[in-house]
Structure 1
Amino acid sequence: MPTQRLAEIPADALALIETRTGPVIKYETIGGGLNSEIAARVHAEHTTVFVKGLRSDHPRVWTQKREADINPYVRDIAPALLWRVESAGWDLIAFEDVEGHHADYTPGSPDLPLVADALARLASLTAPGIVVREMPDRMKDHTDTPELFAGTTLLHSDWFPTNVLITGERAVLVDWAWVSRGAAWIDPALWVVWLIKHGHTPGQAERQAARVPVWNTAPKDSVDAFAKATVRLWEEITQDDPEPWTLDMLAAARQWQAHRQEGIG
């Protein structure tokens, strides 16, 4: 379930932030996102940082450690982690502030090749010293062949457009809470569904994915199985959380599976 985003930083959390930044002049909370109670751009006299936070007893607080642990491996395509504070009932992490806009996934968007470039760079990353969830384990309840999704590549796996910032001529990936490990073609496959949701036909979406070299080497049977598993995943999500955007994602996943079944993919 989505985490309730706070419109104001609580006083005790703000005091913790100031132990690292000095007195805070102002801050702007960010409305988008599903995982954090606090998400804000914080301005102090000599620095501006982006802070994410959860209460220490929040059931999803493990995502804070996950993001902190993975950051050294993904700094080529993600904002650098600056500090982490665990105190007074809060777990707070701060990243370098990145100015940019959320990626536009609609057909013809100039952001699409920049996102594809980020996907290509991500496909070369591994993090052998970090324990993250394996994609076969994540998908095992939605497929009879989870072994087809195994691999050693680091996967972001959450291609919600608010997690992709376009800054200058590059895409920067944020919110690594659901980072996983698996076959390198899986992130482009996940992106395909988001592209369909934003107006692409399945064929158009796969042609965008083809900008990412690993997509073009993906075994057809494995991608077909993943498309089917993705439908089952979104069916489960919409049973528990039937919001308009999740229903749109289910519809997009079904369009993609139908396209794969036609043998065009």
Structure 2
Amino acid sequence: MPHVSWHSLPAEVHAAVHEQTGPVTEVEPVEAGSVADVVAILHTGTGRPFCVKGARDDNPRAWMQRREALLNPHMPPFAPRLRWQVETAGWSLLGFDRAPGRHVDVTPGSPDRARKNADGLGGFSVIDPGGNWIRVFQKPATMPTPPPAPTGRLAKVLANAIVLADSKGDAGQAARILDSALARPQADDDPVTHVEVLVYRAELAMTLHDPETATEMLARVEHIALNADETGRAAPTFEIATDLVEALR
């Protein structure tokens, strides 16, 4: 998505942002970002820079930016903190601490892509003479506590899909079982798990070089209603969704 220039924003937007930052001495455009209409680093007279992301109210993905604001308090300590939020003149803007670094690469085969099983560890798979798949990975410094067995229809389907895709390398079959589960929604489905299934299905679509399906799955996330507790539980998944949106640019 081509970004608009910071200097082309309405005067009301500049004034509202300056109330939060003080005088802006330099604007450094940022090309990355597919949700926002404008992304820039604002250098201020106090010497404190901010990363600002802004979306028009009529941007169909503006909901993702507003949800990012709700999720930020639930992010781990190393995540950039949201310092201010401005809603004016048809624009929504978020101001974060600047965090130098590069964007995560979630394309197939990228070392940035954490595995869903084995506590996120990388490794390789082999097949023994009996046809059994064996996952081999480096032993961590401390062994993680095994997660509890998944409960609920969607959680069990998601766990099976993760084994198929991340351990056996069969992303196609993993996608098919998720599609089957998503086609038969049930009233007691956990909404957080529903979000996790949609986002993982989008990740599989990226692996399968199917950006249309990835875009569709991420768009469906918008329509899942979450309360405050559920929003906090879903925070890591929404972070992955944001990375996937960036990769779809």
Report the TM range for the smaller structure's normalisation.
0.3 to 0.5
Output the TM-score relative to the length of structure 2. 0.48
Structure showing greater radius of gyration is 2
Output the TM-score relative to the length of structure 1. 0.45
